[in-house]
Amino acid sequence: MSNEQQTKFIIVTGGVVSSLGKGVASAAVGAILQARGLNVNILKMDPYINIDPGTLSPYQHGEVYVTDDGTETDLDLGHYERFLNQNTSKKSNATTGQIYYMVIKRERNGDYLGKTVQVIPHITDEIKRRILDVPGINGEQTDVVITEVGGTVGDIESLPFLEAIRQLRLDVGANNLINIHLTLVPYIKAAGELKTKPTQHSVMKLREIGIQPDILLCRADRKLNMELKRKIALFCNVPIDAVIDAPDVPTIYEIPLMFHEGGLDEIIVDKLQLKCKKPDLKGWENFVQKCKNPQSEITIAVCGKYVHLHDSYKSIIEAFAHAGVANNTRVTLKWVDSESLEGQDSETALSDVCGLLIPGGFGSRGIEGKINAVRYARKNQIPFFGICLGLQCAVIDFSREVCGLAGANSTEFNESPSHPVIDLMEEQKRIKAKGGTMRLGAQPCVIKKGTRAHQIYGADRISERHRHRLEVNNKYREILEQHGMIISGVNPELDLVEIIELNDHPWFVAVQFHPELKSRALNVHPLFKEFVAAALKFNKKNN
């Protein structure tokens, strides 16, 4: 839009309980504004004291999402990228740890000489600076900055962020900042009705802090009737048309369409006095139509050790959704706990699937189960896709079973294996600190012509995101290739293995990077697209 248009701000908060979907809601709001021709960028504020989630277990906070610039961030940034089809960066995620760390550094440098450093104004000023410092898109001014505040209203951890937002509205002007509050309207089965009290109390808490929400997104398992909307509007001091339904939907990619149908984008445009066109949502409509009405269905196994918390593999789940639409098929994921496959044959768990994916992960727990699963897929000609640790498991299996390297392993799982086919890079061996020290972010890869990888990408050189410490040991590359493993992708700067594949197999590809991080709803990643196509072909051939 015009550079004359002042940047506007949308703050998304949540109440009552966590996991209501603030990240998806924020991304969907961004998508419908983007469909109106506006330049949109999103920032996630996380109230935990960790500098980033890189050292957290997936069971604590779901997957760690990695940006092109190598920042380990909250999984909601994945939603932002998938909905907006644009890259985020280190400026797109701020934690309490980062905020306090920056203020303490300034204090140590003498920036506050003579002053008492306090939450107000120093911490709140730093929070406001992070919101105002969100970069433009492709060199153009950002029309709308959406800031999602993690946690729920009433949390002690969130208070400095909410106070900063209260101040920011005064700083930029009431017409330039609005608050969208996502809240729960639970259905009480015993009473047979939806209850508005949790929403009322959530808004009451927000208003006590000094923030009056402009729009309410009401999460429920069904739509609200007009009587309930009137009640919420009255007690929460918002116009009735600003009480927006946010019911459960079959696919999260329907949410932009649902919000548009509810008039959300019109209210935002009106309240922020935005100059923009009517939305073009044809791409979303086509995607949702294919997602809800596929021509076929296949089952693919995901074998990992965090399978009891699906958010640990959020980007993989969504990449399969994108690939399913691209192949006009529904991909049903069968979650296989890798520990359950240790010391036994994989046939029981994998005999009914059309493909196997081994995702990334850390630690020795469940490793032999993953290696057994790779072996089963390799021997039984089941399409196989390995990601990060999945590639390393494939190399270990191939080394042991095909190359005859008994005891081949990774030094992550055995400090002194007879054949360390997977090992730390030399520079990693000198690193002691755990936070932010892995091989992270976008790295180049040169692809060998005539390989499956080259056919899939249609390019000689690509860039993909990494998050790992260990690599294929170059000392074993020659013997791997002599026995039929094709090293089809190599990092040209570090001479490290990036992609492997097998020729005597319908589809056997593994990568050291994380392609799921670059798959978008309206721009599917080619590796996932072709893997699903191979699984579909396998299903037709064997059923």
CA distance to 366, 474, 479, per residue, from 400 (Å)? 18, 16, 12
Cα three-residue angle 104-107-110, rounded to 5 degrees? 155
For residue 507, give the amino acid letter. W
Q: In what helix (H) or strand (E) does residue 488 lie, and over which residues does it extend?
A: strand 485-491
Whether 516 sits among the annotated catalytic residues: the reply is yes
Q: In what helix (H) or strand (E) does residue 93 lie, and over which residues does it extend?
A: strand 93-95
Nearest to 370 by CA among 362, 426, 466, 109: 362
Q: What is the DSSP string of 148-174?
A: EEPS-TT-GGGHHHHHHHHHHHHHH-G
Out of 236, 516, 525, 530, the active site residue is 516
Whether 501 sits among the annotated catalytic residues: the reply is no
Q: Where are the beta strands (DSSP E) in 338-482?
A: 355-358, 384-387, 408-410, 419-424, 439-447, 461-468, 470-472
Long-range interactions of 246-249: CB distance < 8 A, separation 24+: 246/21, 246/25, 246/182, 246/217, 246/218, 246/219, 246/220, 247/219, 247/220, 247/221, 247/222, 247/223, 248/220, 248/221, 248/222
Out of 354, 388, 393, 445, the active site residue is 388
List 462's β-bridge partners, or say none: 445
Q: Residue 340 has which token pair?
A: 């359950």
CA distance 249 to 97: 35
Out of 181, 260, 505, 514, the active site residue is 514
First to last CA, the chain: 53
Whether 412 sits among the annotated catalytic residues: the reply is no
Q: Residue 543 burial (CB < 10 Å; 0-12/13-18/19+)?
A: exposed
Q: Residue 166 has which token pair?
A: 């209260």
For the annotated catalytic residues, the residue numbers are: 388, 514, 516
